[in-house]
């Protein structure tokens, strides 16, 4: 179990009690990557928000759209005159009426991943979150009493990993055959397994 905790809580021995009684400090990191430019910690910043339950919601999703995505991308889109593509999953905060109406009014084209497909189609899932989890765990082990997320992000969200994420999902360069081949292979394996199972049942 990975959690974010304060140095004071660690020194006072409060962590064991928190684990026993089920108390948690949930921190959700909403990550997004652009193919247009690399992240530069000296030039770019991060946005923070919170909710009573600790999970993202429609309000936070809308704030991210208006205060982060629109603000950061409209400059490169002729101040919002050009159409921008926003690729998202089907979370309720992304398909909220206010969210979609804002996109429609600001030349933002929304593409929603099909259900249960982000492990193959979403660049973040394909090439970035796995190394992030690895480096994040290393950070927690090395600096147990002090939360250090930025070094993990710098290692995981490298220019090469970001480019790999877009390439492996067939989004840039655009190549649908990458995913179609994977789906075809999986379907063939399922059919072979089903045939083998049916044959075994018949012989027995």
**φ, ψ of residue 186 in degrees (nearest 5):** -65, -40
Number of domains, the chain = 1
Q: Would you state the pLDDT for residue 23?
A: 47
Averages of pLDDT over each 10 residues, the chain, 204 residues: 46 49 49 58 70 84 90 80 86 88 93 86 82 81 60 81 92 93 89 70 55
- Structure tokens belonging to residue 13: 């021995």
pLDDT for res 39: 57
> Which stretch of DSSP H or E encloses residue 200?
helix 177-203
Residue span of the structural domain in which 50 resides:
31-112
Residue pair 94/65 in contact by the 8 Å Cβ criterion: no
Does residue 52 lie in a domain region?
A: yes
pLDDT of residue 203: 53
203 in a structural domain = no
pTM (2 decimals)? 0.50
Tell me, yes or no, whether 13 lies in a domain. Answer: no
Which pLDDT score, from 0 to 100, does residue 88 have?
A: 87
pLDDT, position 123? 81
CA-CA distance, 98 to 93, in Å (whole number)?
9
Residue 191 lies in a domain: no
Residue 58, in any domain of the structure: yes
CB 124 within 8 A of CB 165: yes
Does 76 map to a domain?
A: yes
Residue 87 lies in a domain: yes
* pLDDT in the model for residue 145: 45
Q: Other C-beta atoms within 10 Å of 126: how many?
A: 20
Which single residue is written with the structure tokens 């990557």?
33
* 80 within some domain: yes
């Amino acid at each position: 179990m990975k959690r974010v905790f304060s140095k004071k809580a660690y020194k006072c021995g409060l962590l064991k009690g928190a684990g026993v009684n089920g108390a948690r400090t949930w921190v959700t990191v909403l990550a997004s990557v652009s193919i247009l430019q690399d992240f530069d910690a000296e030039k770019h910043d991060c946005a923070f928000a919170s909710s009573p339950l600790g999970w993202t919601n429609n309000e936070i999703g809308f704030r991210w759209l208006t205060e982060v995505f629109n603000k950061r991308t409209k400059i490169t889109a002729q101040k919002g005159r050009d159409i921008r593509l926003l690729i998202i999953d089907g979370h309720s905060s992304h398909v909220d009426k206010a969210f979609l109406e804002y996109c429609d009014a600001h030349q933002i084209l929304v593409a929603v991943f099909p259900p249960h497909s982000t492990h193959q189609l979403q660049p973040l899932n394909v090439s970035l979150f796995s190394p992030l989890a690895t480096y994040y765990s290393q950070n927690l082990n090395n600096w147990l009493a002090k939360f250090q997320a930025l070094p993990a992000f710098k290692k995981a969200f490298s220019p090469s990993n970001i480019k790999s994420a877009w390439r492996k999902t067939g989004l840039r360069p655009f190549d649908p055959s990458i995913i179609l081949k994977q789906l075809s292979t999986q379907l063939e394996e399922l059919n072979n397994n089903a045939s083998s199972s049916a044959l075994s049942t018949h012989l027995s």
